[in-house]
Each structure stands twice: as structure tokens, then as C-alpha cells.
Amino acid sequence: MNKLKILLTITTIGILLYILHFISLIYMWDYYTELYKATEDRVVFGKYNFIIGHVSSVIIFIGLCLSFKCIYTIIKQGFFTELAKKLLRIAGSIFLFLGVLTGIIDIVRVANEMEESVAIGIILVDFLLTIVGLIVLIIADMAQTGYQLKSENDLTI
């Protein structure tokens, strides 16, 4: 249970960091828009890079919030509950989808003359996000099996 509390703390820190990111984005909106306007001619997706970056940040934030809710539910109610199973599946799907999507986008960026040393690190982070999504989905399947066994056991007793 202590490891789950540590994971809950790490997830909370991640959520707080994303909130600070969104606050800084609002505070420095003019600076970011001018920066993206100045570089939109030299990058692959042009003016859409601004939107792609911030939409992916919002999606990761939503995944972190769902992960927080799931971990909190596991701590309070136990691992083999319907809500924990559902939240694990949704969060894993979000991380897997976003990891694959941003990986494809970054591979397209590398193919169109983005600096390779920077892009390889970004692609590795996308790959890591995809692996995290797969791991969470595997844990969700284990929670599904455990929930079914627990339900059958409760009916037997």
C-alpha cells in the first residue's frame, strides 16, 4: 500500500506540474504565439504545431487525472473493483493512443528535416508513453480477471 501512496504522490506532482504549465501558457500566451508564428514556415505542420503540442498536453493531463482517481480508488476500495478496472482501461487507452499518435507525428517531423538528435529523444519519450499505456492496459486486464474471480468467490460464500 505504501508503494501506491508513493505512486499517488508522483501522479499528484505530475498533475501540479501540468497545471503550472497551463498557467504559464496563459500568462505568456502572446510570447508563445509570436514564437510559433516566427517558426511556422520552417517546420512540418506549420501553425498546427502550436495546437498539436497543447492538445497533447491536455490529453496527458486528462490521463494523469484519471490515473490519480484510479490510484485513489484502489487505495480506498481495493484493487478488484469495477471502478478501478474501468479507470485503468480508460487511462491506459489514452496513454497508448497518445503515445502512438505523437510517435507518428514526430517520425513525420524527423523525415522532413527536423534535427535528428532532438527528435530521437522526443520519439523515445513517445515510445515510453506507448509502453506505459500498454502496461496499464495489461494491469487493467489483470484487474478484470481478479474482479471476476472475486465476484465468483463472493457468490460462493
**How far apart (Å, rounded) are the C-alpha atoms in residues 48 and 35?**
13
pLDDT tens by residue, 73-114: 888 888 778 888 899 899 999 999 999 999 998 888 777 776
The per-residue pLDDT for range 24-59, each reduced to its tens digit, is 888 887 777 776 666 666 667 667 777 788 889 999
pTM of the model: 0.79
In terms of Cβ atoms closer than 10 Å to its own Cβ (0-12, 13-18, 19+), residue 107 is middle
Residue 93: per-residue pLDDT: 94
